[in-house]
């Protein structure tokens, strides 16, 4: 994929309409740089996939667009940060605690805010989840201030043949892959999982065959929140956190969910990898935040060529 | 996927993604500027228009506290002498770092009785906020905002900026930084620029790209970073370009990410420098970033280390608010000192009288490391300065120019 030697072909920055005077980015790059970028793309893609998992689950089953997903991630971030820095717990021990906490929190949010309006128009649900987002983010800002925070640990990185892998991101990737496998197995092989899938396919029919749909709803929202919590919980391992960090991930997570196919877990991971790849290489080749243009161009292309998403079924149509 | 009602889930999902993009998910709840309606007639009201929530909320809150502290200390010292001890009152508005709120918050503060305004940190917000103040005929002293376009060519009569603007920041950095390195017998021929990809970072980047070649430094790489990103790719790019100096134009979060990525990739350029970089003179951030920043050189407005009162203000701020006192806080405090001096000079709380005083004022007793503050016809400080400091034992020490130096440069 990458040439070992630069062949001197350059892409003038002006081509993209930017005014930077550092004129050119080589189109072909050194193999070691290419591999380093590829490693970052995979690591970032894993995190993006993890962020998108909960979002795709809640929308796939409940048809609710959860704007509070980023805020739930932030709760996961601060739970890990507080338990690690405040209580002195091992950060890896705090991650499952944060996930459990977010599951309970998600169920409570559903019971108090979503369930009463589950049959209302989607606009109402949208406004309610947006309100939940504001409440959560503002509460965290009041409790912990808007200052960025970091864990009091430095995990460092692993160097393999000149390629550096930040350990925090490596652990996050492992968590992402495990989360996809466990979630997929849960939905495929457990009775509750089958009930969730049945509800996702046809809510009315699910009710007729005896599935307790309201119960499935709150469990699904809880699981979605737990996945958001997991995504948030691993972020302090490699990045500073602040009450608004969830927003930075959420917009791309929406894109990933559509790209991978609504309700598809493997699709979320695949979509995350694609966006991670475009993000990292776009960042390398395009000036400033130009990679976002590339992300949305690919998003539009997928919508035009395969609107159900890469791994979405026809039922999404 | 479901069958509830006649729906197309994908289309609905897309519709709301559009909505998400539109609102930017930047929603934040701040203090209601309308809360302070009862303004005492024996008080002079300063309106503080800063981001108290949102991505810039951490620094913005500290800046707002700097305004509060300056007013508090003046009141403790007996209030405004020329107004028979009238007290200062600060009313605060939260602009959330959002451009569209800059003007609105200015208007609200003026409606609530502000006689003079200060703000806003983010340049686009300040742009909007100052236009609203200009329309209302209320003087506005910029606390911190770097973009040249806020004042230059705008023909504003009520707006003043004590800090150096972007071009001046770049001029000072391009001159002082290489000179200090070369004076110490070391070479510097190339630089890589790492900047926050918003108006602030772009303005200073453009200035450096113009100024550095005048001092025989070639800019070999320029990389941007957005809010909430890691700096992994950017550091790979910088490492590949192998510049003599990496110049960081960024807020605290993005500087911490830069240093973290440098550590992760085992990359240490010969010189790490900062231009208008708040993290390199924030001791809390320096402690967090650790030894990688040791010896780093940076130019920024700064607290005057030769002024005993500056040290006292720093201590009082840290005691009062339990927050770190960085360059932005120092500059905001100094801007409020300018406002207070103008009110004293005017002997009036009338906006026009305060504005007349600002146009002619010379403030010698302030805590910033720069000569007396006095404004030209554009409202820019004629003596604005971004001194050079160096991180020594994880503390920011001013090393040039000589009149403000507290330490010798150590490379």
Please report, to the nearest 10 degrees, the dihedral formed by the alpha carbons of residues A289, A291, A293, A295 taken in order. -140
Check whether A12 has a pLDDT greater than 50. no
CB of A138 within 8 Å of a chain B CB? The answer is yes
Is B17 inside any structural domain? no
Q: What is the DSSP letter of B14?
A: H
Please report, to the nearest 10 degrees, the dihedral formed by the alpha carbons of residues B357, B361, B367, B370 taken in order. 150
Check whether B2 has a pLDDT greater than 50. no
Could you tell me whether strands B271-275 and B245-249 are parallel, antiparallel, or unpaired per DSSP bridges?
Answer: parallel
B42 or B30, which is more confident? B42
Is B352 inside any structural domain? yes
pLDDT at position B347: 94
Is A157 inside any structural domain? yes
Phi/psi-derived region of residue B223, left when phi > 0, alpha when psi is between -120 and 50, beta in every other case: beta
pLDDT at position A24: 56
Is A296 inside any structural domain? yes
Is B8 inside any structural domain? no
CA atoms of A88 and A107, how far apart (whole Å): 28
Mutate to test the interface with A, among B5, B6, B8, B10 (most CBs of A within 10 A): B10
Across the interface, of B13, B26, B227, the residue whose CB is closest to A65 is B13
> Are B159 and B205 contained in the same domain?
no
Is A192 inside any structural domain? yes
CB of B19 within 8 Å of a chain A CB? The answer is yes
> Are B201 and B66 contained in the same domain?
no
CA atoms of A79 and A94, how far apart (whole Å): 8
What is the distance in angstroms between the Cα of B195 and the nearest Cα belonging to chain A? 9
Across the interface, of B52, B57, B230, the residue whose CB is closest to A239 is B230
pLDDT per residue as tens digits for the range A48-74: 999 999 998 888 888 888 899 999 999
Check whether B229 has a pLDDT greater than 80. yes
- pTM, entire model: 0.81
Q: Do A156 and B252 touch (CB under 8 A)?
A: no
Is A11 inside any structural domain? no
List, in order, residues 6 or more apart from A196 with CB less than 8 Å away. Answer: A61, A187, A216, A219, A220
Is B368 inside any structural domain? yes
Confidence of residue B95 (pLDDT cuts 50, 70, 90): very high
> Are B142 and B174 contained in the same domain?
no
Check whether A9 has a pLDDT greater than 50. no
pLDDT at position A224: 93
With 0-12 / 13-18 / 19 or more C-beta atoms within 10 angstroms meaning exposed / middle / buried, residue B285 is buried
> Are B285 and B140 contained in the same domain?
no
> Are B212 and B150 contained in the same domain?
no
pLDDT at position B10: 52
> Are B212 and B83 contained in the same domain?
no
Q: Are A302 and A72 in contact (CB under 8 A)?
A: no
Most confident of A20-24, A305-309, B105-109: B105-109
Across the interface, of A33, A134, A248, the residue whose CB is closest to B227 is A248
Q: Are B155 and B368 in contact (CB under 8 A)?
A: no
Which CATH number belongs to the domain containing residue B231 in this structure? 3.40.50.2300
pLDDT per residue as tens digits for the range B296-307: 999 988 888 888
Taking the CA atoms of A248, A254, A255 and A257 in sequence, report the sign of the dihedral they define: positive
CB of B53 within 8 Å of a chain A CB? The answer is yes
Euclidean distance between the first and final Cα of chain B, in Å?
A: 64
pLDDT per residue as tens digits for the range B298-342: 998 888 888 899 999 999 999 999 888 888 999 999 999 999 999
Lowest mean pLDDT among A12-21, A188-197, A282-291, B239-248: A12-21
Lowest mean pLDDT among A244-248, B73-77, B351-355: A244-248
Mutate to test the interface with B, among A41, A244, A268 (most CBs of B within 10 A): A244
Q: Do B21 and A251 touch (CB under 8 A)?
A: yes
- Cis amide leading into A24 (omega within 30): no
Q: Are B393 and B407 in contact (CB under 8 A)?
A: no
> Are B83 and B224 contained in the same domain?
no
CB atoms within 10 A of CB A113: 17
> Are B80 and B214 contained in the same domain?
no
- The whole-number average pLDDT for the span B245-260 is 93
Query: Which chain B residue has its CA at the smallest distance from A253's CA?
Result: B17
Mutate to test the interface with B, among A72, A77, A147, A304 (most CBs of B within 10 A): A147
Q: Are A47 and A176 in contact (CB under 8 A)?
A: yes
B78 or A162, which is more confident? B78
Mutate to test the interface with A, among B6, B8, B13 (most CBs of A within 10 A): B13
- The whole-number average pLDDT for the span A183-190 is 89
What is the distance in angstroms between the Cα of A234 and the nearest Cα belonging to chain B? 14
CA atoms of A241 and A74, how far apart (whole Å): 8
- The whole-number average pLDDT for the span B18-38 is 42
pLDDT at position B54: 84
Contacts of B237 in chain A (CB under 8 A): 284
Most confident of A146-150, A299-303, B372-376: B372-376
For residue A294, give the nearest of A41, A50, A46 by alpha carbon.
A41
Q: Do A37 and B233 touch (CB under 8 A)?
A: yes
List, in order, residues 6 or more apart from A35 with CB less than 8 Å away. Answer: A2, A163
Q: Strand (E) positions, B147-267?
A: 159-160, 190-196, 218-225, 245-249
Check whether B352 has a pLDDT greater than 50. yes
Lowest mean pLDDT among A182-191, A242-251, B32-41: B32-41
Is B175 inside any structural domain? yes
In A56-85, the residues whose Cβ lies within 8 Å of chain B are 59-63, 65, 67, 70
pLDDT per residue as tens digits for the range A16-46: 434 444 445 666 678 888 999 999 999 999 9
pLDDT at position B1: 37
CA atoms of B366 and B333, how far apart (whole Å): 9
Is B5 inside any structural domain? no
> Are B248 and B221 contained in the same domain?
yes
Is B120 inside any structural domain? yes
Total number of domains in chain B: 2
pLDDT at position B14: 52
Is A183 inside any structural domain? yes
A313 or A166, which is more confident? A166
Is A8 inside any structural domain? no
Q: Are A79 and A259 in contact (CB under 8 A)?
A: no
Give the structural domain span for B312.
Answer: 33-163+306-374
Is A18 inside any structural domain? no
pLDDT at position B91: 97
For residue B126, give the nearest of B90, B92, B155, B160 by alpha carbon.
B160
In B186-205, the residues whose Cβ lies within 8 Å of chain A are 193, 197, 202, 205
Structure tokens at A95: 């991650």
Check whether B29 has a pLDDT greater than 60. no
Q: Do A244 and B26 touch (CB under 8 A)?
A: yes
CA atoms of B274 and A287, how far apart (whole Å): 20
The pair phi, psi for residue A90, each rounded to 5°, is -65, 130
pLDDT per residue as tens digits for the range B188-225: 999 999 999 988 899 899 999 999 999 999 999 999 99
For chain A, the residue count is 317
Total number of domains in chain A: 1
Please report, to the nearest 10 degrees, the dihedral formed by the alpha carbons of residues A166, A169, A173, A174 taken in order. 70
What are the distances in angstroms from CA B172 to CA B299, B389, B392? 7, 12, 21
Structure tokens at B64: 């707002």
> Are B312 and B292 contained in the same domain?
no
- The whole-number average pLDDT for the span A85-95 is 93
- The whole-number average pLDDT for the span B113-133 is 94
pLDDT at position B31: 41
Q: What would you report as the CA-atom Rg of chain A, rounded to the nearest whole angstrom?
A: 21
> Are B39 and B153 contained in the same domain?
yes
What is the distance in angstroms between the Cα of A26 and the nearest Cα belonging to chain B? 11
Contacts of A315 in chain B (CB under 8 A): 1
Please report, to the nearest 10 degrees, the dihedral formed by the alpha carbons of residues A101, A107, A112, A115 taken in order. 160
Contacts of B221 in chain A (CB under 8 A): 22
CA atoms of B196 and B202, how far apart (whole Å): 7
Of all residues in chain B, what percent carry a pLDDT higher than 90? 66
pLDDT at position B391: 94
What are the distances in angstroms from CA A237 to CA A155, A208, B256? 7, 46, 14
pLDDT at position A26: 66
pLDDT at position A245: 92
B351 or B38, which is more confident? B351
Half-sphere exposure of A197 (CA within 13 A, CB side): 14
Of all residues in chain A, what percent carry a pLDDT higher than 70? 90
Three-state SS for chain A is CCCCCCCCCEEEHHHHCCCCCCCEEECCCCHHHHHHHHHHHHHHHHHHHHHHHHHHHHHHHHCCCCCCHHHHHHHHHHHHHHHHHHCCCCHHHHHHHHHHHHHHHHHHHHHHHHHHHCCCCHHHHHHHHHHHHHHHHHHHHHHHCCCCECCCCCCCEEEECCEEEEHHHHHHHHHHHHHHHHHHHHHHHCHHHHHHHHHHHCHHHHHHCCCCHHHHHHHHHHHHHHHHHHHHHHHHHCCCECCCHHHHHHHHHHHHHHHHCCCCHHHHHHHHHHHHHHHHHHHHHCCCCCHHHHHHHHHHHHHHHCCCCCCCCHHHC
What is the distance in angstroms between the Cα of B372 and the nearest Cα belonging to chain A? 32
Is A21 inside any structural domain? no
Q: Do B58 and A148 touch (CB under 8 A)?
A: yes
Give the structural domain span for A128.
Answer: 29-316
- The whole-number average pLDDT for the span A296-310 is 87
What mean pLDDT value characterizes chain B?
88
Check whether B146 has a pLDDT greater than 70. yes
Check whether A298 has a pLDDT greater than 90. no
pLDDT at position A39: 94
CA atoms of B242 and B264, how far apart (whole Å): 17
Mutate to test the interface with B, among A146, A216, A289 (most CBs of B within 10 A): A146
Q: Is residue B49 within a helix (H) or strand (E), and if so which, with residue range?
A: strand B43-50
- The whole-number average pLDDT for the span B133-160 is 92
Query: Which chain A residue has its CA at the smallest distance from B3's CA?
Result: A202
pLDDT per residue as tens digits for the range B257-289: 999 999 999 999 999 999 988 889 888 889 889
Is B201 inside any structural domain? yes
Q: Are B174 and B217 in contact (CB under 8 A)?
A: yes
Confidence of residue A117 (pLDDT cuts 50, 70, 90): confident
Confidence of residue A239 (pLDDT cuts 50, 70, 90): very high
CB of B256 within 8 Å of a chain A CB? The answer is yes
The gap from C-alpha B126 to its chain's centroid, in whole angstroms, comes to 11
Q: Do A130 and B27 touch (CB under 8 A)?
A: yes
CA atoms of B252 and A205, how far apart (whole Å): 54
> Are B43 and B75 contained in the same domain?
yes
- The whole-number average pLDDT for the span B79-104 is 94
pLDDT at position B3: 37
Structure tokens at B228: 């909430």
CA atoms of B241 and B220, how far apart (whole Å): 6
String of b and e for B1-39 (b: at least 16 CB within 10 Å)?
bbeeeeeebbebbbebbeebeeeebebbbbeebeebeee
Q: What is the DSSP letter of B80?
A: B
Q: Do A254 and B20 touch (CB under 8 A)?
A: yes
In B141-180, the residues whose Cβ lies within 8 Å of chain A are none
Q: Are B225 and B231 in contact (CB under 8 A)?
A: yes
Across the interface, of B21, B56, B264, the residue whose CB is closest to A166 is B264
Which CATH number belongs to the domain containing residue A163 in this structure? 1.10.3470
CB of A315 within 8 Å of a chain B CB? The answer is yes
């Amino acid at each position: 994929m990458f040439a070992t030697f630069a062949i001197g072909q350059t892409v003038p920055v002006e081509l993209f309409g930017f005014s930077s005077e550092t004129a050119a980015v080589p189109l072909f790059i050194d193999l070691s740089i290419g591999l380093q970028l590829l490693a970052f793309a995979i690591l970032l893609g894993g995190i993006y996939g993890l962020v998108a998992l909960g979002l795709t689950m809640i929308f796939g089953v409940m048809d609710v667009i959860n704007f509070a997903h980023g805020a739930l991630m932030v709760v996961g971030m601060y739970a890990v940060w507080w338990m690690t820095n405040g209580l002195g717990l091992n950060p890896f021990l705090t991650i499952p605690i944060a996930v459990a906490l977010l599951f309970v929190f998600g169920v409570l949010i559903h019971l108090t805010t979503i369930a009463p309006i589950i049959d209302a128009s989607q606009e109402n649900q949208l406004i309610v989840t947006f309100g939940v987002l504001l409440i959560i983010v503002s509460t965290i800002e009041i409790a912990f201030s808007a200052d960025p925070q970091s864990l009091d640990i430095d995990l460092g990185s692993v160097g393999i043949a000149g390629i550096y892998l930040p350990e925090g991101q490596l652990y996050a990737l492992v968590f992402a892959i495990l989360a996809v496998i466990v979630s997929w197995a849960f939905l495929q092989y457990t009775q509750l999982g089958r009930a969730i899938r049945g509800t996702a396919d046809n809510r009315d029919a699910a009710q007729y065959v005896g599935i307790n749909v309201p119960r499935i709803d709150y469990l699904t929202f809880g699981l979605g929140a737990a996945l958001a919590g997991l995504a948030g919980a691993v972020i302090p391992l490699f990045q500073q956190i602040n009450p608004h960090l969830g927003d930075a991930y959420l917009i791309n997570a929406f894109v990933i969910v559509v790209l991978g196919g609504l309700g598809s877990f493997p699709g979320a991971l695949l979509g995350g990898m694609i966006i991670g790849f475009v993000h990292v290489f776009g960042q390398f080749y395009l000036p400033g935040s130009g990679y976002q243009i590339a992300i949305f161009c690919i998003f539009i292309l997928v919508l035009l060529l395969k609107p159900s998403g890469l791994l979405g079924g026809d039922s999404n149509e | 996927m479901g069958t509830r009602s006649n729906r197309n889930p994908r289309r609905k999902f897309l519709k709301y993604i559009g909505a998400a993009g539109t609102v930017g998910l930047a929603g934040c709840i701040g203090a209601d500027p309308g809360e302070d309606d009862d303004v005492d007639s024996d008080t002079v009201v300063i309106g503080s228009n800063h981001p108290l929530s949102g991505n810039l909320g951490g620094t913005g809150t500290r800046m707002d506290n700097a305004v509060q502290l300056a007013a508090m200390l003046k009141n403790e010292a007996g209030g405004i002498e020329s107004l028979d001890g009238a007290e200062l009152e600060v009313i605060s508005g939260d602009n959330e770092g959002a451009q569209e709120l800059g003007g609105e918050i200015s208007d609200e503060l003026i409606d609530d009785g502000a006689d003079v305004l200060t703000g806003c940190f983010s340049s686009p917000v300040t742009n909007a906020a100052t236009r609203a103040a200009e329309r209302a005929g209320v003087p506005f002293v910029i606390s911190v905002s770097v973009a040249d376009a806020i004042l230059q060519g705008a023909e504003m009569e009520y707006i003043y900026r004590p800090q150096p603007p972007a071009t001046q920041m770049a001029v000072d950095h391009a001159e002082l930084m290489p000179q200090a390195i070369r004076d110490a017998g070391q070479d510097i021929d190339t630089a890589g620029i790492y900047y926050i990809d918003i108006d602030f970072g772009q303005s200073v980047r453009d200035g450096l790209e113009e100024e550095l070649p005048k001092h025989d430094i070639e800019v070999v790489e320029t990389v941007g970073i957005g809010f909430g990103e890691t700096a992994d790719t950017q550091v790979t790019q910088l490492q590949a370009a192998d510049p003599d100096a990496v110049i960081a134009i960024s807020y605290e979060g993005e500087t911490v990410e830069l240093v973290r990525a440098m550590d992760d990739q085992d990359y240490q350029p010969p010189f790490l420098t900062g231009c208008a970089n708040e993290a390199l003179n924030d001791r809390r951030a320096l402690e967090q970033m650790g030894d990688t920043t040791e010896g780093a050189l940076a130019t920024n407005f700064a607290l005057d280390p030769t002024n005993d009162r500056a040290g006292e203000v720093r201590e009082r701020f840290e005691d009062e608010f339990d927050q770190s006192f960085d360059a932005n806080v120092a500059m905001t405090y100094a801007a409020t000192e300018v406002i207070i001096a103008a009110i004293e000079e005017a002997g009036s709380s009338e906006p026009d009288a305060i504005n007349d005083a600002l146009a002619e004022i010379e403030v010698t007793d302030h805590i910033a490391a720069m000569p007396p503050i006095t404004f030209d016809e554009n409202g820019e400080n004629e003596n604005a300065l971004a001194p050079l400091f160096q991180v020594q034992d994880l503390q920011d020490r001013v090393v040039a120019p000589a009149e403000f130096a507290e330490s010798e440069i150590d490379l």
